[in-house]
Chain A
Amino acid sequence: MEWRTDLRTNLRVVRAIIAKDWRVYWRYPVNAFMSLLTPIMWLTPVFFLGLTFSRDGDALGFRASTGTGDFVAFMVLGGVVASYVRTVFWQMGFSLKTEMEQGTLESLWLTPNSRLWLLVGRSVVNVLLTAINTVTVMAAVYLLFGFEMTGNVGQALLILLPLIVALYGFGIAYAGIVLYVKDANSLTDLTSFFVEVVSGFNYPVTALPRALMVVGLALPVTYGVDAIRAIVLGTRPLVPVQVSVAVVLVSVVVFWVLGRWIFNRVDARVRAMGTLGTH
């Protein structure tokens, strides 16, 4: 079966990319260490601020708004999804541009592989590195500040995984766009920040002004993080969890179809313009 041979070959290519990126990642040990330290640095002042609003470790106002008084657990779960959103924008989005700046993009593009599979390889290693990073940060936050997860973590993972797949579908499109636009730092900074603001990673989305909340409710990631919190912490969900799951699953299909289409269009455009090796 030809497709089976093709799939085996493509999976081998994905594995090679994972191994290569893994090696390169650890050859910058300070960067690796800082990626663990930075989220803890961000969370620390918020933790102490939250304590001042709490009585006997229970943030009553926060409980009234969300259904849980454990604001650290609330933020940690938001932080898990937020770290994937940031990674999709900054790591995936800039993955091709980084290769281009290194000078290695053309070498990759010269190999007899589908360019989409090369990006899939990059996505997988990204997911793995972010997962390792997230678990390590969660462990550190647990030891430093403490939090409780009383709900079904396995069920939450069943929502998180398709949400990550959907995000990387978007990431593939965004990688193409950054390759084309090139000078996309400000655009990425702004968009990534805006998504974090309106999706309620650090606070309930209901705390937003109505106009921003509407924008937030248009993004599938808002439903994903809301459902995860509802399952794990027993917070009040925006919509029934089943609806959130449906939104996330539909977004997987939409983001991957659109992502692939946009990436192929941009790739063809870049090859026509001859800008693959320029930056």
Chain B
Amino acid sequence: MIGAISRSVLRRGWRAALRRERRRATGGMDMDALVTAEDLRKRFPRKRVGQRRWWPWARRENGRGGNGTGASGAAGDEWIVAVDGVSFEVQRGEIFGLLGPNGAGKSTTIRMLSTLLEPSAGTAVICGHDVRWEPMQARARLGVVLAGDRSLYWKLSGRENLEFFATLYHVPAHEVPHRVNWALERMGLADRADELVERYSTGMKQRLSLARALLADPPVLLLDEPTLGLDPQSARNLRELILELKREGRAILLTTHYMEEADFLCDRVAIIDHGTIIAMDSPGALKRRLPHERVYRLELRETNGALRLTDLVPGAAVVEERRDEATGTLHLALTLAEPEQDLAALWTGLAHSGASVVNYSVQEPTLEDVFISLTGRALRD
């Protein structure tokens, strides 16, 4: 029996390696990518209250009849599809963000990449190691920070936590004190290192989690909602740290539902909704896809008091109009259907109307606008 199991494992490992080689040969995999997800899928059996099945065979029978129909599948479906065919790569020295609302499949993707969750289908590879067939090798190259602040031992001090995890990450014994001190210094926790973690603030616990993720000096970091629950100052500090880690050449995959964070940190962003990536590019490129979402703000001093911009520029839509009685100026915010032509028409029209422009600015669309344009919903809906 043991021989048969070993043969099966070897065969599966060999097949995975063969699949990887084949993809490399056909150009399907970027050799510089430290993280590769290919057609990754995860579905869960739908559980209803009072329908818990205690017997494994009962679950299997129901499982066979199930069909994945998306995260919002209709009532009566047996499966919930949390991640549905997600593919991406993260390069060395790149921050790649998974941006989406709660329940979109971001954390499930990270959990599959970190070997905590078995993918239903597809491939996930960390530094050349398939997470399904070489999970330990994959984990050895990963630093992971999961959402929430309970992943540390609260009854141990910060230093004791790091010493414990340094050993579990196979840091050589003689290097442990040095590496722990380095991580504590780097995260600004050196002066509180010997206090119990239960006395730390949420921000300190999050920094300690990041310190733990760095102990083994991993080439890949997976950060699940790293700034969730932090005050603005702590969140800013943590973002700066993440940028530093990127500059060291690490591949960083982070999930967030804060669009400003994704915009500030990420070199590339995948917008994920209902388990599917619906757009993937740099934040700038994603926003440039929405030229008509650019908002033009004007502060005008009129001469005749009866300026109608929509007459001057047919493609303009006024999204905000406010008269400032104190200064006697008109504040307008517009979007333009054909920005290049409409902008020329706007300036010409304004010159002819005799209105003088006191202030002018262009507001770029945000990733939130990108998400709304793709899904018709706001990120926090």
Q: What residues of chain A have their CB less than 8 Å away from a CB belonging to chain B?
A: 9, 12-13, 15-16, 19-20, 23-24, 27-28, 102-104, 106-114, 268, 271-274, 276-277
Contacts of A107 in B (CB 8 A): 146, 151-152, 165, 212
**Number of interface residues, chain B, beta carbon within 8 A:** 37
Partner of A24, one of B42, B137, B156, B165: B156
Q: What residues of chain B have their CB less than 8 Å away from a CB belonging to chain A?
A: 42, 44-45, 82, 108, 111, 114-118, 136-137, 139-140, 142, 144, 146, 148, 150-156, 160, 163-165, 167-170, 173, 196, 212
Are A271 and B116 CB-contacts (below 8 A) given A12-B173, A111-B139, A114-B136? yes
What separation, in Å, do the CA atoms of A114 and B151 have in the docked complex? 19
Partner of A110, one of B144, B156, B167: B144
Q: Is the CB of B151 within 8 A of A9?
A: no
Contacts of B45 in A (CB 8 A): 273
30 contacts between A and B (CB under 8 A): A9-B170, A13-B167, A13-B168, A15-B167, A16-B164, A23-B155, A23-B156, A27-B155, A27-B156, A28-B155, A104-B152, A106-B116, A106-B151, A107-B212, A108-B168, A110-B114, A111-B168, A112-B136, A113-B136, A113-B168, A114-B136, A271-B115, A271-B117, A273-B44, A273-B45, A274-B42, A274-B111, A274-B117, A276-B116, A277-B116
Contacts of B155 in A (CB 8 A): 23-24, 27-28
Are A103 and B136 CB-contacts (below 8 A) given A111-B165, A111-B168, A271-B118? no
What separation, in Å, do the CA atoms of A28 and B156 have in the docked complex? 12
| Interchain nearest-CB distance for A116 vs B (Å) | 12
What separation, in Å, do the CA atoms of A252 and B228 have in the docked complex? 48
What separation, in Å, do the CA atoms of A273 and B156 have in the docked complex? 31
Contacts of A103 in B (CB 8 A): 148, 150-151
Are A12 and B169 CB-contacts (below 8 A) given A24-B155, A107-B151, A271-B116? no
Contacts of B167 in A (CB 8 A): 12-13, 15-16
A contacts with B: majority SS: helix
What separation, in Å, do the CA atoms of A273 and B108 have in the docked complex? 11
Q: Is the CB of B150 within 8 A of A102?
A: yes
What separation, in Å, do the CA atoms of A20 and B157 have in the docked complex? 11
| Interchain nearest-CB distance for B222 vs A (Å) | 9
CB closest residue in chain A, given B222: A110
Q: Is the CB of A102 within 8 A of B153?
A: yes
CB closest residue in chain A, given B42: A274
CB closest residue in chain B, given A181: B54
Extra contacts besides A102-B150, A274-B108 (12): CB < 8 Å? A102-B153, A103-B148, A103-B150, A104-B151, A107-B151, A107-B165, A111-B165, A111-B168, A112-B140, A113-B168, A114-B136, A274-B44
6 closest Cβ pairs, A-B complex: A103-B150, A16-B167, A112-B140, A111-B168, A112-B139, A27-B155
Q: Is the CB of B139 within 8 A of A110?
A: yes
| Interchain nearest-CB distance for B119 vs A (Å) | 9
Q: Is the CB of A110 within 8 A of B117?
A: no
What separation, in Å, do the CA atoms of A277 and B224 have in the docked complex? 14
What separation, in Å, do the CA atoms of A207 and B111 have in the docked complex? 54
Contacts of B168 in A (CB 8 A): 13, 16, 108, 111, 113
Are A268 and B118 CB-contacts (below 8 A) given A20-B156, A27-B155, A102-B153? yes
